[in-house]
Structure 1
């Protein structure tokens, strides 16, 4: 697997980035048939059977984004039609009271347009971004986490997974000032201490750390790097410099699969690594992205009778949910990284 080139070199199992992506597309077809009209969330490592949701929770956009990546890769009108149909089903997730709708709207609703596959205007993405921007809390200086997943409206909660997707979406749709302040507040209140704090609550003019997600959450670190990489492309190149600078003291080797939570080393999270691979591409660190993709493909991508599944992802370690599974966002980000490394997708596109 060679950085920025399709078909040259190889992973430990001899797959180029393009060949690994083709293998994952076989899994997309199997998933499409299995889930029917429900959104895939995570799949059992032994059977490959998906746990699904009706509305898609916070992951809906990753399944739709996967379908848009397939349509971009194959140039097949049938695949484009499937992606368009699933995009329409994002309406409920896009309207949910949560900042994570930024992920849904950017990687799902906007993906067809951003990848140059869809001819129609991305109305859902545009309208959803406007609704999201309207939730900005000027006192806290953020887009609140929201109530969709059971959190109360007060105190306001800031979470690092409310940055990725949201930053490029708002900058692209014309609410750059909201994106800038949302990011700046997170960088100010979550960093500058011993470790990055993935979630805080704001009440009576003060920020206090939340107990969940735990400090040392590797996916939170990956979301932060991805948000900074996108901010460098959409807001100011200074954010790219800051992202690269932060990697000099990164909490795990950037070309390795991290523990899901530092100190809990018996459980790893390939989904954090796949997010990291995309961030590295966006930062122009293709050699590192390529090395990380080789690890993911060579050591964690299934072969044999059920190929193309990125295994060993950890959804929620503290609750014991899907701690060694195939995760839909892990699949998506690895596919996106492979598409970037093969030269099919420019890192600034999505």
Structure 2
């Protein structure tokens, strides 16, 4: 068994233990010392990652009981379909993708309904599905973490959805990557222009990660080249760059950002020429190996930073960190296709 296969098994076994202890609540982040989870009643914006992790566990184990658990969690995502949030892409794409691939009718129906709801939430005057007010703050924000998953869901909603997806990606890419410094969040102004918004600060660790993941899923070669040419993105995928970025300059590490970047690199590699593909795949493998060797303990990816500005879970195990680490390891070992989710 390779190091990657062993690590994947550890993460999936850990997810089964946590699920058994959760009592129907949703894991969010875990204390780095005790391993105890802070949970939510409804799943917040991370519920799709937990559901997706349970689906991956079911795929790898082949156990009908694991499949039943994943199906049950999928059904529990339903209340989020009409929530006022651009995070529905994160919730419903990653929460249903494996289930749909496994032929689960519930996951397919839920994904179809979520795609329609996302298109209904699209605001042509803004050119996007706004971040929304479900988690507080201004509604009319363009946030880079609103791209992954949402683009795929919109495209499933037919020709109008495909246009909306392209328009939103073009807008967010221009806002986020239009300057030398990546800017993750922007607010709409009454005159139709946009200004940077500090909902997410400049230098945020997951900006390049989420943007790269969204671009990787489009299959657009021109957009991929523009992404990789941006100096901050290029630095993150460079062979000698630190594997784990800081939550912000001078701050603690954020392993969850590194895990997302590894998955994005593997997806970008799958659609690149031979030389670039080898470089990106090598980078992803190096990042995943660093995460496993230096930050994984008993199936727990530690040193993730949820929200540094508010002092929330700044060196913890994060549910999306575990998810993307598991997906990255599964792709690296050939257990799943890079675009399985």
What is the TM-score normalised by the length of structure 1? 0.89
| Deviation of the 1:110 alpha carbon | 3.2
Report what 1:79 is aligned to. Answer: 66
Among residues 275, 298, 307, which one is paired with 2:260 in the alignment? 275
Report what 1:4 is aligned to. Answer: none
Report what 2:274 is aligned to. Answer: none
Paired residues for 1:307-318 under 5 Å: 307-318=298-309
Distance in 2 (CA, whole Å) between partners of 1:291 and 1:247 is 20
Among residues 287, 294, 311, which one is paired with 1:292 in the alignment? 287
Partner SS, residue 41 of structure 1 = strand
Report what 2:169 is aligned to. Answer: 183
Q: Is the 1:94–1:104 Cα contact (8 Å) retained in structure 2?
A: no
Which region of structure 1 is more displaced relative to structure 2, 140-149 or 161-170? 161-170
Q: Is the 1:80–1:118 Cα contact (8 Å) retained in structure 2?
A: no
Partner SS, residue 158 of structure 1 = strand
Report what 1:164 is aligned to. Answer: 148
Paired residues for 1:103-182 under 5 Å: 103-114=90-101, 116=102, 118=104, 122-153=108-139, 156-174=140-158, 175-182=161-168
Q: Is the 1:90–1:109 Cα contact (8 Å) retained in structure 2?
A: no
| Deviation of the 1:246 alpha carbon | 3.2
Report what 1:93 is aligned to. Answer: 80
Equivalent residues, number: 325
Distance in 1 (CA, whole Å) between partners of 2:233 and 2:285 is 20
Report what 2:330 is aligned to. Answer: 339
Q: For the structure 1 residues 242 and 72, does the alpha-carbon distance in structure 2 shift closer, same or farther, using more than 3 Å as the test? A: farther
| Deviation of the 1:75 alpha carbon | 1.2
| Deviation of the 1:76 alpha carbon | 1.2
CA RMSD across the alignment: 1.7
Per-residue deviation, residues 105-126 of structure 1 (Å, max 9, x unmatched): 1000333113x35355611111
Q: Is the 1:60–1:93 Cα contact (8 Å) retained in structure 2?
A: no
Q: Is the 1:80–1:117 Cα contact (8 Å) retained in structure 2?
A: no
Report what 1:28 is aligned to. Answer: 15
Partner SS, residue 283 of structure 1 = helix
Q: For the structure 1 residues 331 and 158, does the alpha-carbon distance in structure 2 shift closer, same or farther, using more than 3 Å as the test? A: same
Report what 1:203 is aligned to. Answer: 189
Partner SS, residue 217 of structure 2 = helix
Which region of structure 1 is more displaced relative to structure 2, 204-213 or 116-125? 116-125
Q: Is the 2:11–2:326 Cα contact (8 Å) retained in structure 1?
A: yes
Q: Is the 1:275–1:333 Cα contact (8 Å) retained in structure 2?
A: yes
Q: Is the 1:309–1:326 Cα contact (8 Å) retained in structure 2?
A: yes
Q: Is the 2:27–2:319 Cα contact (8 Å) retained in structure 1?
A: yes
Per-residue deviation, residues 179-218 of structure 1 (Å, max 9, x unmatched): 1011001112222223111111112212111122100101
Q: Is the 2:81–2:117 Cα contact (8 Å) retained in structure 1?
A: no
Q: For the structure 1 residues 117 and 22, does the alpha-carbon distance in structure 2 shift closer, same or farther, using more than 3 Å as the test? A: farther
Paired residues for 1:62-77 under 5 Å: 62-77=49-64
Distance in 2 (CA, whole Å) between partners of 1:200 and 1:97 is 18
Q: Is the 2:51–2:74 Cα contact (8 Å) retained in structure 1?
A: yes
What is the TM-score normalised by the length of structure 2? 0.91
